[in-house]
């Protein structure tokens, strides 16, 4: 198993374009081979048994997390998904398998921005505020920890996450210093944003690169991309989703240019935002995009609400919803103070040169604003490992990166 | 006659009221973000729009299918996956794909496409013989790609629009045209199969037991794993666009 090799394999990540790297990730044959590792086991956790959940969410029966446990004592790693992600995401499964095959117990958690988390694990339905997310995540982890230790001995606890999940990991680790229940010994941040607000701005602008009219043109954009992908398929199938190389082929044959790749990333974030805002609003009955007195059931017509939700950016959400909600308990909060708070700079005193922390990211990560990569490098000092290319998480399953992830969890120091 | 017409009208009226989805904007105060201009609302709704007059009923059936999946179909698929090796499951899938060449061939002919019909016939000949009764897809390796065609597509090729969106129990997302196509493909096939074969127990087990099981096994879709409360809307949009492309292909 290459992951367990003592010497790191050389870094030969092939895609130089950061947008392409983000969307395509890796050609299947270059991914670290985890095919003989088991699938994580899915579990459900009910945190608020008295909570009323609208019938429209009838399929929500508790927080969905996954686990892969060794059959003997081992360190336990909690993994937090990125924006809109859950334990079924392929990146989550890959992380679980690479850690499991290196001797760790692994627990996979959905992002606090995922509807399943908002409905079942969020105290106040306010998604996206790192300090609140950390409190919710900590409650979840304490409950899961009790379950896991009832099954198998745990020697110590570690924490990791990617993208927004990495920022959540940093805030959760900070909270752990006060609560002292889990006592994380190592925390690894994989491709984190530096400042949530600036990353949101960057990603939101990407939507418009190939879509000047915004969501109003999304229909045509999707048709265009699907038609181009369809033209590649030699078989009679319109689109061959089984073909793992579909996107790579499309890129190599110039069917997907930079602009459409950037817009694809922006669009996927916007869909996550729409789902998050809708879920939060329906659960809190605050009447931001969903009529506050309306019931939400299986047969509710969502066409108009979806049209509104898709036209609501993360930015709109922060200005028009999040700020109001925070102000109810903290009347002096401003957009500025909340922006500063949702950033790794806010934890500077805690993170800087803290040997517990490691950072893995890429020089060309597309969610970072200019200059932020240098701030991250300075913050994590000798415990930062910055790869020359890979975009946003495109290289996470490359053998060199996988090796770095596992090495940090096993030994600490520079990943 | 009069009685029949009245009953039909009453049923239709009842269906329309029960079938239309509930409009949340008719329930109390408006939310902070809304379309104040009705024209803007109409225009925005054109995005990802699919003609779906029976949305309320369709959403009910969508939920029914999700529950059927969870409590009946997926447990059976899991058991099947558990007791059989992957090699065998793949052979079963290939076998039914090969049987499906009958449908692909008849529809390629009906679409007036000698190219697709020729490829399909060649595939059937190669896979049935060299491919051991279709359990191995040798033809694809020999450069003859599968040409999935069905009567819904044939109707589309000859100019029939999709009609209203329909979610069928068990079969899932469809539309009026493709539902008619499904029925025609089924009838054509059972017309082609001799009666004494159709009455055979092995045939019945294969086509009413193993075939639907294989169909669910090969379909990787799982309800409510998309992570969006707008799953019904996106599935509806995606399915409709895919069918458009398949008709054009």
Q: Which residues of chain B lie closer than 8 angstroms to A320, CB-CB?
A: 32-33
Confidence of residue B201 (pLDDT cuts 50, 70, 90): confident
Residue A260: enclosing H or E segment and its boundaries?
A: helix A258-284
Provide the percentage of residues in chain B whose pLDDT is more than 90.
53
Taking each continuous run of H as one helix and of E as one strand, the counts in chain B are 14, 2
Torsion over CA of A148, A152, A158 and A161, rounded to 10 degrees?
A: -50
DSSP string, A166-188: HHHHHHHHHHHHHH-SS-EEEEE
Query: Does the beta carbon of B200 lie under 8 angstroms from any beta carbon of chain A?
Result: no
Q: Which residues of chain A lie closer than 8 angstroms to B60, CB-CB?
A: 298-299
Cα Rg for chain A, rounded, in angstroms?
21
Burial class (CB in 10 A: 0-12, 13-18, 19+), A383: buried
Distance of CA A283 to the CA centre of its chain: 22
Q: Which two structure tokens, joined as six digits, stand for A109?
A: 């958690």
DSSP conformation class of A82: -
Q: Which two structure tokens, joined as six digits, stand for A261?
A: 């790749």
- Considering only the beta carbons, identify the residue of B20, B28, B246 that sits closest to A292: B28
User: What pTM value is reported for the model?
Assistant: 0.92
Give pLDDT tens digits for B47-105: 788 999 999 999 999 999 999 999 999 999 999 999 999 999 999 999 999 999 999 99
Closest B-chain CA to A296: B24
Beta bridge pairs of residue A76:
A105, A157
Question: How many other CB atoms sit within 10 Å of the CB of residue B86?
Answer: 8
CB contact under 8 A, A237 and B148: yes
Q: What is the pLDDT of residue B1?
A: 46
DSSP conformation class of A386: E
**Using CA atoms, how far apart are residues A137 and B216, in angstroms rounded to an integer?**
36
Size of interface A-B (CB pairs under 8 A): 157
Provide the percentage of residues in chain A whose pLDDT is more than 70.
94
CB contact under 8 A, A219 and B46: yes
Query: Does the beta carbon of B48 lie under 8 angstroms from any beta carbon of chain A?
Result: yes
CB contact under 8 A, A237 and B146: yes
> Would strands B165-168 and A184-190 be described as parallel, antiparallel, or unpaired?
unpaired
Closest A-chain CA to B24: A294
Per residue of chain A (415 residues), what is the pLDDT tens digit? 445 566 778 899 989 999 999 988 888 888 888 888 899 999 999 999 999 999 999 999 999 999 999 999 999 999 999 998 999 999 999 999 999 999 999 999 999 999 999 999 999 999 989 999 999 999 999 999 999 999 999 999 999 999 999 999 999 999 999 999 999 999 999 999 999 999 999 998 888 888 887 788 888 888 888 777 777 665 555 555 556 667 777 777 766 788 888 888 888 888 899 999 999 999 999 999 999 999 999 999 999 999 999 999 888 998 899 999 999 989 999 999 999 999 999 999 999 989 999 999 999 999 999 999 999 999 999 999 999 999 999 999 999 999 999 999 999 888 8
Residues in CB range of B192: below 8 A, 6 or more apart: B102
Residue B174: enclosing H or E segment and its boundaries?
A: strand B172-175
Specify whether the CB–CB gap between B249 and A238 falls below 8 A.
yes
Question: How many other CB atoms sit within 10 Å of the CB of residue A264?
Answer: 23
**Percentages (nearest 5) of helix, strand, coil residues in chain B:** 65, 5, 30
Task: Put residue B170 in one of left, alpha, beta given phi > 0 → left and psi -120 to 50 → alpha.
Answer: left
DSSP string, A21-73: HHHH---GGGS---TTSPPPEEEEE-S-TT----GGGTT--SEEEEEE--SS-
Q: Which residues of chain B lie closer than 8 angstroms to A218, CB-CB?
A: 47-48
């Amino acid at each position: 198993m290459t992951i367990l090799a003592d010497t790191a394999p050389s870094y030969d990540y092939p895609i130089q374009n950061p947008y392409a790297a983000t969307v395509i990730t890796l050609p299947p044959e270059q991914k670290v081979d985890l095919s003989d590792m088991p699938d994580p086991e899915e579990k459900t956790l009910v945190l608020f048994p008295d909570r009323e959940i609208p019938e429209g969410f009838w399929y929500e029966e508790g927080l969905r997390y996954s686990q892969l446990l060794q059959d003997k004592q081992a360190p336990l790693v909690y993994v937090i998904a990125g924006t809109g992600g859950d334990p079924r995401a392929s990146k989550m499964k890959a992380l679980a398998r690479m850690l499991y095959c290196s001797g760790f117990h692994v627990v996979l958690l959905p992002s606090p921005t995922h509807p399943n988390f908002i409905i079942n694990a969020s105290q106040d339905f306010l998604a996206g505020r790192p300090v609140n997310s950390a409190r919710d995540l900590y409650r979840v982890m304490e409950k899961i920890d009790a379950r896991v230790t009832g099954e198998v001995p745990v020697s110590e606890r570690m924490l990791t996450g990617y993208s927004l999940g990495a920022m959540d990991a940093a805030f959760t680790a900070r909270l752990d210093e006060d609560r002292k229940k889990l006592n994380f010994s190592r925390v690894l941040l994989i491709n984190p944003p530096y400042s949530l607000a600036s990353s949101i701005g960057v990603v939101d602008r990407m939507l418009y690169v190939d879509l000047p009219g915004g969501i109003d043109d999304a229909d045509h954009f999707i048709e265009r991309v699907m038609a181009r992908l369809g033209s590649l398929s030699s078989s009679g199938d319109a689109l061959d989703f089984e073909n793992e190389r579909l996107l790579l082929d499309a890129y190599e044959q110039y069917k997907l240019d930079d602009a459409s790749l950037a817009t694809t990333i922006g669009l996927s974030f916007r869909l996550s935002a729409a789902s998050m805002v809708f879920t939060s609003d329906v659960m809190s009955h605050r009447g931001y995009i969903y009529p506050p007195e309306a019931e939400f059931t299986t047969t509710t017509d969502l066409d108009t609400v979806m049209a509104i939700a898709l036209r609501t950016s993360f930015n709109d959400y922060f200005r028009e919803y999040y700020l109001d909600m925070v102000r109810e308990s903290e009347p002096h909060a401003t957009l500025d103070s909340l922006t500063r708070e949702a950033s790794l700079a806010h934890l500077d005193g805690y993170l800087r040169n803290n040997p517990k922390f490691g950072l893995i990211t890429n020089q060309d990560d597309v969610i970072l604003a200019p200059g932020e990569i240098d701030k991250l490098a300075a913050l994590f000092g000798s415990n930062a490992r910055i790869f020359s290319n890979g975009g946003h998480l495109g290289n996470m399953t490359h053998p060199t990166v996988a090796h770095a992830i596992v090495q940090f969890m096993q030994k600490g120091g520079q990943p | 006659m009069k009685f029949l017409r009245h009953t039909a009208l009453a049923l239709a009226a009842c269906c329309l009221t029960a079938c239309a989805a509930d409009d949340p904007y008719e329930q109390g105060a408006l939310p902070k973000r809304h379309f104040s201009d009705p024209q803007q609302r109409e225009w925005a709704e054109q995005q990802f729009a699919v003609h779906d007059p029976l949305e309320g009923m369709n959403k009910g059936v969508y939920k029914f299918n999700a529950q059927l999946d969870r409590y009946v179909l997926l447990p059976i698929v899991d058991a099947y996956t558990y007791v059989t090796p992957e090699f065998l499951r793949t052979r079963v899938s290939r076998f039914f794909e090969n049987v499906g060449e009958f449908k692909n061939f008849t529809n390629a002919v009906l679409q007036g496409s000698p190219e697709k019909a020729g490829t399909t016939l060649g595939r059937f000949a190669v896979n049935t013989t060299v491919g051991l009764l279709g359990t191995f897809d040798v033809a694809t390796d020999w450069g003859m790609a599968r040409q999935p065609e069905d009567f819904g597509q044939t109707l589309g090729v000859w100019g029939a629009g999709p009609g209203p969106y329909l979610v069928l129990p068990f079969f899932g997302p469809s539309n009026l045209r493709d539902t008619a196509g499904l029925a025609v493909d089924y009838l054509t096939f059972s017309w082609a199969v001799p009666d004494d074969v159709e009455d055979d127990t092995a045939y019945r087990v294969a086509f009413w037991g193993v075939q639907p099981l294989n169909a669910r096994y090969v379909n990787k879709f799982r309800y409510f794993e998309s992570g969006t409360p707008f799953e019904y809307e996106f599935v509806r949009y995606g399915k409709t666009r895919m069918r458009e492309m398949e008709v054009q292909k």
